[in-house]
Amino acid sequence: MFWAAVLPFQITCVVVAVGYAAFVLAAPKLKLNRGHAAALGLGLSALGFIPLCLGIDVLLSPIRFGVFEYASPAAMGDGHADRRLPPEAGEITINQYSSGFEARYTIARSDLDAWIDAEWERAGEYAAIEREEPEEPADEPTAEELDSPAGRHRQELKAKLQAHAWSRLAELGWSRPPDAVEIKGPRASNGGGSNYFYSASEGRAYQRAYYW
């Protein structure tokens, strides 16, 4: 995502500008003509800008991206992930990367529902898919269903779909609660948006988000 390159770019601009000015001002001490130093400095700045920017990005990435814990969204100060989390979220564990994040946090179901309603009100007109009802955990299959080929196929398909929906969260070592309800937020055609899973027994939500 381009937004992730903004901060390294800004820092690089400051470093190059300060370095260039210092080089030109120090030219007499280096026994260089300031005019020649200015031209040489421009050339060095142009050649070194991209490598320097990439190096700064490498240094910043461990600070900006990875798994972190916060007491609330207000404590994050991220500007991207924090405004995509309900303000009532607490005990947040979040895996951040340039294109989105996975998070789990404590929250009341009523607060989560109000947040998702507001998301649909704000961005629903841009959603690629119309709003769906929350997907409640399915009842356990009956013996008759398991005995039939069609019933077994449905159970296998259901298991695969659930595993796919939870796959990114599973990579963080988070097990899907048996009572998890899947609630879909508005999603753009490029995949941007959030999916939520809520466990009443845990009082906790799990969220997969990709930036629009």
Q: What is the pLDDT of residues 191-200, one digit of tens each?
A: 788 999 999 9
Q: What percentage of the chain has pLDDT greater than the value 70?
A: 85
What 123-129 contacts at long range (C-beta under 8 Å, 24+ apart), as own/partner pairs, is 123/186, 123/193, 123/212, 124/186, 126/186, 126/188, 126/212, 127/186, 127/187, 127/188, 127/193, 128/187, 128/188, 128/189, 129/184, 129/187
Q: How far is CA 24 from CA 20, 29, 39, 49, in A?
A: 6, 10, 9, 17
Least confident of 139-143, 179-183, 185-189: 139-143
Number of structural domains the chain divides into: 2
Q: For residues 69-91, give the mean pLDDT.
A: 90
104/160 same-domain check: yes
Domain's final residue, options 64, 87, 105: 64
What's the pLDDT band for 44 if we cut at 50, 70, 90? confident
| Mean pLDDT, the chain, integer | 85
- Give this prediction's pTM: 0.74
Q: What is the mean pLDDT of residues 79-106?
A: 91
45 and 87 assigned to the same domain: no
- CA-CA-CA-CA torsion sign (102, 104, 110, 115): negative
Q: Please state the rounded mean pLDDT for residues 113-140.
A: 84
Q: Are residues 196 and 134 in the same domain?
A: yes
Residues 153 and 57 in one domain: no
- C-alpha–C-alpha distance, residues 52 and 14, integer Å: 11
141 and 40 share one domain: no
Residue that is last in its domain, among 18, 41, 64: 64
Q: How far apart are CA 129 and CA 126, in angstroms?
A: 9
Domain boundary pick from 64, 92, 109 = 64
User: Has residue 185 got a pLDDT over 80?
Assistant: yes
Res 141 pLDDT > 60? no
159 and 100 both lie in a single domain: yes
Range of the domain at 205: 66-210
Residue 14 and residue 95 share a domain: no
Beta pairing class for 100-106 and 181-187: unpaired
Looking at the structure, tell me whether residues 59 and 154 fall in a common domain: no
Dist CA 195 CA 30 (whole Å): 60
Q: Say whether pLDDT at 202 is over 60.
A: yes
How far is 198 from 182, CA to CA, in rounded Å? Answer: 7
Judgement on whether residues 76 and 165 belong to the same structural domain of the protein: yes
pLDDT band at 1 (very low <50, low <70, confident <90, very high): low
Better-predicted residue by pLDDT, 28 or 62: 28
